[in-house]
Amino acid sequence: MAAAALKAARGIIRDFGEVEQLQVSVKGPGDFVSNADLKSERILKTELARARPGYGFLMEEGGETPGDGHNRWIVDPLDGTTNFLHGLPFFAISIALERDGELVAGVIYEPIRDEMFWTEKGAGTFVNDRRLRVSARRRLAEAVLATGMPFRDHGDHSAYLATLAPVMAATSGVRRFGVASLDLAYVAAGRFDGFWEFGLKPWDIAAGLLMVREAGGYATDFSGAHGLPESGDVLAANDHLHPQLVALMADALHGAVVESQPK
């Protein structure tokens, strides 16, 4: 998985170097970024299929490819395409392995910083050769959380805003990098104390969920249920902050529902 990510990253780094020049062109870099995404996905699929010929795939661009019915790669070839498009150096490659419905391994590679986050079920989470643990903070007032915001006609803006306001009031700060896979990897590394976002796709979160869990944290849906959330709603934090955030989110979303009901 790491070797496949490194091979795909070479092309992504090369293409990222061209983005600044493309910004001033008439056509703009949109098509270029789409091609970078597709090229990365082709490389990843080729390398992973060569290593494990019978495994299936769930990929952001290529959709689902059936395999042996037990093993499936879940792949985001370029998470953070909007950042890439604007020349912002925050993006990643995310690969997870799911076996019989259970996440068993994951890799998230950040090309610009050359950080390889990796995890295996029961073996912990690492960045390069250093083992990771979630943060030890116990109070929301000391915590910094990451989030992802809906935009344009995507997602439920009112529900998101209902959760943002109490988090802003309760914590030391909120950050929005626009790369869900890295947000989860950073929670596993203790850089963020928590993360929440609505409506993510399996390829955005699969590797990161396992990383947080193997680093001693909790990564669930908003109700606290484990697994790969079908809703795509994700809440991740250490064992001290997670129950506090579950309660905070429940209150916020309940309040939003009550307020939206006709008088």
pLDDT, tens digit, 9 for 90 and up, residues 238-253: 999 999 999 999 999 8
The span from the CA of 114 to the CA of 112, in Å, is: 6
Looking at residue 154, its pLDDT comes to: 81
The span from the CA of 257 to the CA of 3, in Å, is: 47
Q: Is the pLDDT of residue 125 over 50?
A: yes
Question: Domain 2-131: which topology?
Answer: Fructose-1,6-Bisphosphatase; Chain A, domain 1 (3.30.540)
Closest CA to 125 of 184, 52, 192: 184
Q: Is the pLDDT of residue 256 over 60?
A: no
> Domain segments of the chain: what residues?
2-131, 140-260
CATH number belonging to domain 140-260: 3.40.190.80
- pLDDT class for 60, splitting at 50, 70, 90? confident
Looking at residue 214, its pLDDT comes to: 98
Looking at residue 258, its pLDDT comes to: 41
**What strand order describes the sheet that includes 173-175?**
173-175, 144-147, 194-197, 234-237, 218-220
Closest CA to 237 of 257, 262, 219: 219
The span from the CA of 234 to the CA of 211, in Å, is: 14
Among 59-63, 109-113, 137-141, 198-202, the minimum mean pLDDT is found in: 59-63
Provide the token pair at 182: 């890295």
Q: Is the pLDDT of residue 28 over 70?
A: no
